Amino acid sequence: MKVGIILGSNELDRVAYAGMHALISTTLDNEVVIFATMDAVKAFLKEPDLKVESATSKTIKENKEDIFQHYVRAKKSGKLKILACSYASKIYGYDKDDYGSLVDDIVGITSFSMEVEGGQIISVW
């Protein structure tokens, strides 16, 4: 099964959740496509810009957890693709060189929708 995750926030706890969900899904032998849109594109920059406003985010930061380890492990399975939103990238003036190695491509919502057609889609805002 294909799983699509639309991530719209760069809040630390939400980015962590999307990574955990991706890892669990790939472990269950699902193909996962994450579409980072709006502020979420900031989380995948070479130097991630993560908000720490919620109590959970503050706890994660205090515990010095590496939330990107979930993404790295899922990517190693070969079953995770991370796409940055072309619209959000344009708004912020980002191009492929601004993103870290986790990002596979910059695409629009139509391309993401075609990638996960017939699959389950969840949104994390």
- Residue 9, domain CATH: 3.40.1260.10
H/E stretch holding 5 reads: strand 2-7
Which domain does 62 fall in, by range? 2-124
- The C-alpha atoms of residue 39 and residue 9 are separated, in whole angstroms, by 5
pLDDT of residue 53: 97
pLDDT of residue 75: 98
- The C-alpha atoms of residue 119 and residue 92 are separated, in whole angstroms, by 30
Domain count, the chain: 1
3-state secondary structure of 37: coil
pLDDT in tens, the chain (125 residues): 999 999 999 999 999 999 999 999 999 999 999 999 999 999 999 999 999 999 999 999 999 999 999 999 999 999 999 999 999 999 999 999 999 999 999 999 999 999 999 999 999 99
pLDDT of residue 17: 98
How much is the pTM?
Answer: 0.96
